[in-house]
Amino acid sequence: MISAVAIALTASGTTAMAAPTAGNPRPAALAPVAADAPRGTLVSVERLRTLTAREVAAELAGDKAGAWDTGAVRYGLTTYRIVYRTVDPHGRPTTASGLLALPRNGERRLRTVSFTHGTELSKTDVASVSTSVWDQAPALTHASAGFATVLPDYLGLGLGPGFHPWMDVPSETTAALDMLRASRAVARSQGRELRRDVLVTGFSQGASAALGLARSLQDGDDDFFRLRAVAPISGAYSFRDAELPALLAGQTEPKASVIYSALTLVAFNRPHHLYDTPAQVFRAPYDRTIGGLLDGTHTGREVEAGTPDTIDALLTPRGRAMLAHPTARLAAALRTADGVCTDWTPRAPIRLYYADADEQAVPANTAHCHTALRARGVHAPTINLGTPDYGGSRHLGSQQAGTAAVVRWFRSLG
């Protein structure tokens, strides 16, 4: 799945970027954990915030880029930063981080929501580290409605080491599944229990990740958790046949198109070796700078300032041809990403949420996914969110409108 992500958020600065909370302690370590400990083993956990229902509602309603719906707010909540054992794209042991939000509703056994986030350029722009309303809102919305809410940072973001393997659905899936396992342990330490059924949702890049996690749960990859329903929002599920052509044809917001094109070549080159030197695909001077800009240590504004305004100013003819007509290794990687809609048959309820004229994740992605699922006999209604706006972005607005719609649907499932 790729794509469209919170680039408009990070690149255009529609939301304040939170630096890692200066002065906040890092998560408190538990007993030493071996590098080969089972996946999902807790490495550290730290309680971050406890909010009343009124404080949750005030935070959601007070977002300067656009107020979030507070209609589902019923309870206060407590959030926890978690670091846990997982595996990298090659199956080697590593760690990842994420945020767990538990409602303060007096219930011991909690329904569970997994939310996977959209693209972030900086390691710090994720829910376990950032304090921006944008990053916190999905956790606040679902937890205050009564759900235990699990938000993995993915590999290489938050407190995770190394580079983030962007749009790598297999590692997004393992990170999300292992975050569920670690969250179950934290809940137990608080005298709570996560129910087996998981309600899965995610936005943009995280929409594909949500479908990857849903497929994993349905396949029985965990002995405890199972899939209850899945509701992805504004995904780029057809990266090769819908999203990349739209980027190259100028059908998406220009700066987002530039950054997504760069991300595709840089991120996919790391595991798949698409080119020998950056100069083969990136024009000067970007061939010397683009890899460093996208290493996770730069803010969206820095990436925006360090990239050109058009794809043709960024890419060499070879670079553009590689995206227009993917072959060999890139084609294989894109087949894996696009397989979230084509390679399985969901048996749980599923809805696909999207916005009209999305300037980043073009609606053709949702149409492709819907058609692929229908061909497998799956009833997957597409839910049109209209033309929502968040800080001038319809794409980001779809996360805001979609989060409100999804929490209502999840509550109706019982």
- Position 37 scores a pLDDT of 87
- Indicate if 321 and 355 belong to the same structural domain: no
Residue 1 lies in a domain: no
Does pLDDT of 25 surpass 70?
no
- Position 35 scores a pLDDT of 73
**pLDDT level of residue 28 (50, 70, 90 thresholds):** low
Does pLDDT of 92 surpass 80?
yes
- Indicate if 107 and 187 belong to the same structural domain: yes
Look-up of token digits 């998406």: 252
- What percent of the chain clears pLDDT 70, i.e. is strictly above it? 93
Does pLDDT of 11 surpass 80?
no
Does pLDDT of 30 surpass 90?
no
- By C-alpha distance, which of 93, 105, 209 is closest to 153? 209
State the average pLDDT over residues 395-399: 98
**pLDDT level of residue 6 (50, 70, 90 thresholds):** very low
- Position 27 scores a pLDDT of 52
Torsion angle, CA of 174/180/182/188, rounded to 10 degrees? -160
Contact 169, 209 (CB under 8 A): yes
* The two structure tokens encoding residue 59: 């935070």
Residue 53 lies in a domain: yes
- Indicate if 111 and 199 belong to the same structural domain: yes
Does pLDDT of 143 surpass 50?
yes
Does pLDDT of 16 surpass 90?
no
CATH number at residue 286: 1.10.260.160
* Structural domains counted in the chain: 2
| Separation between Cα atoms, residue 182 and residue 149, nearest integer Å | 12
Examine the fold and report which residue of 272, 306, 334 is the final residue of a domain before the chain moves on: 334
- Indicate if 128 and 150 belong to the same structural domain: yes
CATH number at residue 159: 3.40.50.1820
- Per-residue pLDDT reduced to its tens digit, 268-301: 999 999 999 999 999 999 999 999 999 999 999 9
Q: Which domain holds residue 381?
A: 7-238+342-412
| Separation between Cα atoms, residue 274 and residue 254, nearest integer Å | 24
186: helix, coil or strand?
helix
Does pLDDT of 21 surpass 60?
no
Residue 2 lies in a domain: no
**pLDDT level of residue 63 (50, 70, 90 thresholds):** very high
| Separation between Cα atoms, residue 286 and residue 218, nearest integer Å | 43
Q: Which alpha helices (DSSP H) does 145-253 contain, by range?
A: 169-189, 205-218, 244-248
- Indicate if 206 and 153 belong to the same structural domain: yes
- Indicate if 286 and 388 belong to the same structural domain: no
Does pLDDT of 230 surpass 50?
yes
Angle at 396 between CA 55 and CA 389, to 5 degrees: 85
Mean pLDDT of the chain: 93
Angle at 172 between CA 168 and CA 174, to 5 degrees: 125
- Per-residue pLDDT reduced to its tens digit, 103-124: 999 999 999 999 999 999 999 9
Examine the fold and report which residue of 334, 356, 386 is the final residue of a domain before the chain moves on: 334
Residue 187 lies in a domain: yes
DSSP annotation string for 323-380: HHS--HHHHHHHHHHHHHHHS----S-B-EEE-TT-SSS-THHHHHHHHHHHHTT---
State the average pLDDT over residues 224-240: 98
- Position 179 scores a pLDDT of 98
- Indicate if 13 and 158 belong to the same structural domain: yes
Examine the fold and report which residue of 312, 334, 356 is the final residue of a domain before the chain moves on: 334
User: What is the pTM for the complete model shown?
Assistant: 0.93
